[in-house]
Structure 1
């Protein structure tokens, strides 16, 4: 009976983080889906994983075939703009992390729907200008998300980067408790699931419809938080 109690407290409805861990896993799934669409449909460009995008940018500058310099630059610039905006919002409202994540998710949904609208009617790979514009819009959304999730500070749930999560799974396998390992594994699994779904959709649908499930799924985050925030709770304020 003790293990389920630790599970609930660590992931689903604890007083420290409330529903935030579960919602961040939803956002992780969305990240995998969006990056799958961008890499497979916009010309090998990451919009969430800036480590990969900087590597792709290096390939493009070196003249390696199949890598889009303009789209990679647009994604990098968009991500920085989003992170800059997220930092400004965090500086003003960072103490209300429930409200902060709710409002951030709403902005992300709008940006992703705008990207979907730009891709409506496009068959195949979009032209360089359109691909760059879409990549930039999506990267703004993910840069904003990254800055805000960093402030929310739920351990092991960055929603966009898994390098340290995978390191923790292996390096801390003996020291970490079951809830910690489970949360890390779920972060990897949800990113994989999003990428898998995104790849399937890109292969069987137009790019706009492949991207559309991302904002539709992301709507879950502000919807749940809107309901949860009606009752004040400790998790709604910044931890620590």
Structure 2
């Protein structure tokens, strides 16, 4: 039997909250995820917490071990981080090329809005700035994947991005503005409906993002 709308909203809210805590390291990478403790902290029953952790396990943000319960996924090693970007370099330029062919005016307007919010975030208080920047960066990349029309490609990239954003807490001054400039170039190629240019600018952005984030790893 399908969940009622109210139960589904609650489950989604619990999932979003725990996911955000993982991405912001409010829940430390590698730490134990106690279902009952999380339920008490979020003032919910254990059921939506279990559902949330199952979804997070599917994304690779939580790990489940027999008789040991759930733990937050540890940060990737340098090698795993490199492999993550190798995968992004294979998939994301193709997603950008598809978006250049299929994006409509609404897609382009939404992407421009996300870029504006990323630039606006830089003037906010540091913690709030980080949250807003990371959120709109993720939304920018997700909208490109969505505009391309491949649900499988979009789902794959969503999981890869989650792991990338675990490292955003370590970004240094200058990364945000560099990212915004590169996003602007990507958006220009989408406006021109140029698949080859879109793929190339996305590839350049990912290569530079990899180097920037690699230099900030703890």
TM-score calculated relative to the size of structure 2: 0.33
Between Structure 1 and Structure 2, the one with more strand by share is: 2
TM-score calculated relative to the size of structure 1: 0.30
